[in-house]
Amino acid sequence: MKILIGCPTSEHKAYCLNEYLEGLKNLTYKNADFIIVDNSKTDEYLNKIKNLIKDFKNLRLIKDSEWFEGAKDRIVHSRNLIRNIALKENYDYFLSLEQDVIPPKDVVERLLKYKKDLISGVVFCDLIINGQLTYKPMLWITAGKDFNRKELMRYLEPYEVEDEKLLELRSTSLSCLLISKKVLNKIKFRYTTGFDDVELCNDAIKEGFKIYVDTSIKCKHLIKGMDWSKIKK
């Protein structure tokens, strides 16, 4: 299988660039190409990346030619550039691997073995829920419906991903998500009130796809250093 691996990025992720590139180099899957799309306002971060990837084989660095004030617009536009390349160049899968995520070195092999259209690794994040700081995986399952028949979701709890198993999800982040060509053909990245990961999962389920997680794939999340308060969403 031919795999495209990468993500949109900007100068806000400079704090984890070196570790991300090292993580990409350590991946063991042979038939993979890499892509980074920089959507920073200036070329300063682009040039920084260029200086670090001179000896990096199969890594494509692209400057997004359109800049938007809102981060969601920038991310979606850049992610659709990657989608277009994946489809045009006939990749079997796109592994969305955000720049602050370091997966196990054999992550591609382990995700591919299930032959699923959408399958995620486990990425934890600090979250504020009901005013309390908590640490949970960015994975959601269906939790029934409310009185108005509206679907409810809940986070998986840390204990639910301790054992190694395959679980069906209602939603997941794009932190470490393998997406098949079949899904990319039918669905573009977009957002409404939330981020594009939510809408991708909603659209995928409407199209009849199922979403899974391999709970044995635990990724490192480099969340220390990111300050969303300085970014207009």
Pairing of strands 176-180, 118-122: antiparallel
74 band by pLDDT with thresholds 50, 70 and 90: very high
Q: Which of 119-128, 135-144, 203-212 has the highest mean pLDDT?
A: 203-212
For 79-92, letters b (16+ CB in 10 Å) and e give bbbbbebbeeeebe
Across residues 64-73, what is the average pLDDT? 89
Average model confidence (pLDDT) across the chain: 93
State the pLDDT at residue 139. 97
CA 57 – CA 111 distance, rounded (Å): 23
Confidence (pLDDT) at 230: 58
pLDDT value of position 228: 53
Average pLDDT over every residue of 83-104: 98
Please name the helix (run of DSSP H) or strand (run of DSSP E) that holds residue 46, with its range, or none. Answer: helix 44-52
For residue 100, is pLDDT > 90? yes
Tell me which residue range forms the domain holding 207.
3-230
Provide the CATH number for the domain around residue 38: 3.90.550.10
Between 92 and 71, residue with greater pLDDT = 92
What is the mean pLDDT of the segment spanning 108-118?
98
The half-sphere exposure of 193 on its side-chain side, counting CA atoms within 13 A, is: 0
What are the pLDDT digits (tens) for 130-158? Answer: 788 889 999 999 988 777 777 889 999 99
For residue 124, what pLDDT is reported?
A: 96
- When pLDDT is cut at 50, 70 and 90, the band that residue 162 belongs to is very high
Pairing of strands 139-145, 59-63: unpaired
Q: Can you give the pLDDT at residue 232?
A: 54
Number of domains in the chain: 1
**In this model, does residue 225 exceed pLDDT 70?**
no
pLDDT (0 to 100) of residue 126: 87
Share of the chain above pLDDT 90, in %: 81
Query: Does the pLDDT value for residue 231 go beyond 60?
Result: no
Task: Please provide residue 218's backbone torsions phi and psi, each rounded to the nearest 5 degrees.
Answer: -100, 125
Predicted pLDDT at 227: 58
Across 197-210, average pLDDT = 96
The predicted pLDDT at position 226 comes to 57
**Mean pLDDT score, 181-201:** 95
Taking 90 as the threshold, does the pLDDT of residue 129 lie above it? no
Are the C-beta atoms of 96 and 179 separated by less than 8 Å? yes
